[in-house]
Amino acid sequence: MIFDTRISELGEGPLWQAERQMLWWFDILNGRLHGQGGDGSITFEFPEMVSAMGLVNRDIAVIAGESGLWRVNLNDGGHRLFVRIEAGQPETRSNDGRADRQGGFWWGTMGMRGGEDPGKGAIWRWYRGETRRLFAGVTIPNAICFSLDGTQAYFADTVTKRVMRVGLDAEGWPHGTPVTFLDLRAEGLEPDGAVIDAEGRMWLAQWGASRVACYAPDGRFLSALPVRAPHSSCPAFGGPGLTTLYVTTARSGMTPEALAACPDAGKVFVLEGAGQGVAEAMVRLD
């Protein structure tokens, strides 16, 4: 089922805000943040590409963009850049991101040409005024999410077809060497955005596969839900009881023939039967 008819060239970063009963998501390539729900249908425009967000409170969010992190007022779309990173340059943009259980915010950067800019990106974390580049040499950062107890982080470089896992300390900083959580190379599957549900399972969008797949906490494949568009990009639980799975999709890179066959590509879809999610963590600005 289609949740919203607005078409994004590259839909990404869906996030449910319970206080407003709103789903927020991005059209990265057009610099837009869309919202739909209790406050009606909203679109905020930005001066650069934006891609992922974390809530600070009902009215304020942190949003990842080309230059770094933006502080955004969700009432009127007012925004100001408050963290500038060295990757903020015309050759790079932000991609996937999410708040961690400790109140930090993770996001990835990548080259503008995607897979044609190998190793140009990185994964970053901002926490209580400190910004660190966690992992360098990333081509397409994705699948950033966190275990329920906040002791593990997951992330992917889509071109490697693997999802990695790394331990976190009490303040949410990685420790130790990342290890492979999912190896999808044999299946030829490309990991995109991911979210963890109330049972600790990972729901992973898979680019080009028209589905969101579910994996157990030990990495076993459990099931998959079909999406009526080839490029599913990121899932998010929301709605009453967090029992609805929303999925953003993209039309970027599709041929005219493929778009004619799938005119709904780029819309947000609703999937039922995924189970129950958990509320997103909040970003700490203090």
- pLDDT tens digits along 51-93: 999 999 999 999 999 999 999 999 999 999 999 986 555 689 9
**pLDDT for res 286:** 82
Return left, alpha or beta for 267; rule: phi > 0 is left, psi -120 to 50 is alpha, else beta: beta
Closest CA to 147 of 54, 243, 216, 247: 216
- Position 114 scores a pLDDT of 83
φ/ψ region of 137 (left if φ > 0, alpha if ψ in -120 to 50, else beta) reads left
Residue 48 has pLDDT above 80, yes or no: yes
At which residue do the structure tokens 């001066």 appear?
Answer: 47
Distance (Å, whole) CA 1 – CA 227: 9
pLDDT tens, residue by residue, 121-153: 999 999 999 999 999 999 999 999 999 999 999
> Which class is domain 2-193?
mainly beta
Q: Which residues are catalytic?
A: 192
Distances (CA, A) of 233 to 80, 227, 267: 27, 10, 11
The mean pLDDT of 167-189, rounded to a whole number, is 97
Rounded to the nearest 5°, which phi and psi values hold at 114? 60, -125
Predicted local confidence at residue 89, as pLDDT:
59
94, 67 contact by CB (below 8 A): no
The residues facing 182 across adjacent strands are 163
